[in-house]
């Protein structure tokens, strides 16, 4: 009996160890900054990449930091560079996804938030509204402190993709996915 129990314990330990190894592998940081590693979930068309200027030394942001930046509650990068947020124009799926996932507001809430924030001084700077993903990409390329978002398919070498909570757009647990219906 004792022998059987110790054998069962050993089996449980092995299973737990294996599970831990699998978990560690799953959450390990990716070497590929653009494509991502681990199990894939979202398609490139539906994944929304957060992009910054290539000169920006920041590679990874937590989702809460990202939210602070987009809400205008953080004004400068660690380098001292002023943060400039680029938003796509009204009605575009990328914008709606950002409003929903990052701002967690609708258009009215977004507008009111920045009106009030700028008036009260809670918000340091309101985002720039740009007409197309191409202009967003050029904006980020030209402004060292810029941050914006693009579909993964619109990303090129002129900008750098940030990890959000350690995940790249094509990773399984990446949070910024455009709804298939949009």
Partner 1 sequence: MSKTTGNGSSGSPVRRWFRVQRSVTRAPSWRNYSFLLFMVLLAEVGVGIFVLRDLRQSYVQVQKMYEGSVRGLRRIGELQYEAQETRRSTLYALTTNDGNLQVNYADQSREADRLVTQGIAEYLAQAQLPQERSVGDRLTNDWKSYLKIRDEVLGLILEGSPKEAVDLDLAAGVPLFEEVRQDLEEIKRLYDDRASQRLSVVAGFFRRSVAKLLAAFGFGLLFASIALWAIQSSKVRGAVQLANLQMDFVAAVSHELRTPITAILSAGENVRDGLVQGRPALHEQGSIIAGQAGQLMELVDQVLQFAATTKGKPWHAEKAINVHGLIDHSLRNTAAVLQEEGFTVEQIMDPTLPAIVGDPSVLSQCLQNLIGNAVKYSAGSRWIGITAHVEWDRDKTYELQISVRDRGVGIGEGDLPHVFDPFYRSPQVVAAQIRGTGLGLSIAKRSAEACGGRLTVTSELGKGSTFTLHLPIPEPAGAELTAAHMTSIGDRS
The answer to whether 82 contacts partner 1 (rule: CB under 8 A) is yes
The answer to whether 145 contacts partner 1 (rule: CB under 8 A) is yes
Beta strands in 24-157 (DSSP E): 48-53, 60-61, 84-88, 128-130, 146-151
The answer to whether 79 contacts partner 1 (rule: CB under 8 A) is no
Q: Say how far apart CA 80 and CA 137 lie, in whole Å.
A: 22
CB of 15 to partner 1, least distance (A): 53
The answer to whether 131 contacts partner 1 (rule: CB under 8 A) is yes
Structure tokens at 167: 């995940």
The answer to whether 149 contacts partner 1 (rule: CB under 8 A) is no
**Where does this chain touch partner 1 (CB under 8 A) — which range of 2-10, 43-51, 92-100, 142-150?**
142-150
Contact 36, 165 (CB under 8 A): no
The answer to whether 51 contacts partner 1 (rule: CB under 8 A) is no
Q: How far apart are the first and last CA of the chain?
A: 61
Contact 130, 139 (CB under 8 A): yes
Q: Which residues bind partner 1 (CB under 8 A)?
A: 53, 81-84, 86, 125, 128-131, 135, 138-139, 142-146
């Amino acid at each position: 009996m004792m022998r059987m129990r110790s054998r069962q314990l050993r089996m449980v330990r092995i299973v737990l160890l294996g599970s831990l190894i699998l978990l560690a592998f799953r959450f390990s940081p990716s070497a590929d900054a653009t494509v991502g590693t681990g199990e894939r979930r979202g398609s490139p068309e539906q994944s929304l990449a957060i992009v910054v200027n290539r000169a920006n030394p920041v590679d990874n942001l937590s989702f809460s930091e990202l939210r602070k930046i987009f809400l205008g509650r953080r004004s400068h990068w660690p380098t001292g560079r002023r943060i400039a947020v680029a938003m796509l124009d009204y009605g575009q799926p990328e914008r709606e996804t950002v409003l929903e996932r990052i701002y967690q507001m609708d258009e009215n809430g977004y507008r009111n938030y920045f009106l009030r924030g700028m008036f009260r001084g809670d918000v340091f700077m309101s985002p720039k509204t740009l007409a197309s993903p191409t202009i967003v990409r050029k904006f980020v390329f030209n402004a060292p402190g810029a941050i914006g978002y693009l579909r993964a398919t619109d990303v090129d070498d002129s900008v750098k993709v940030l990890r959000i909570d350690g995940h790249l757009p094509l990773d399984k647990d990446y949070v910024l996915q455009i709804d298939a219906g949009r």
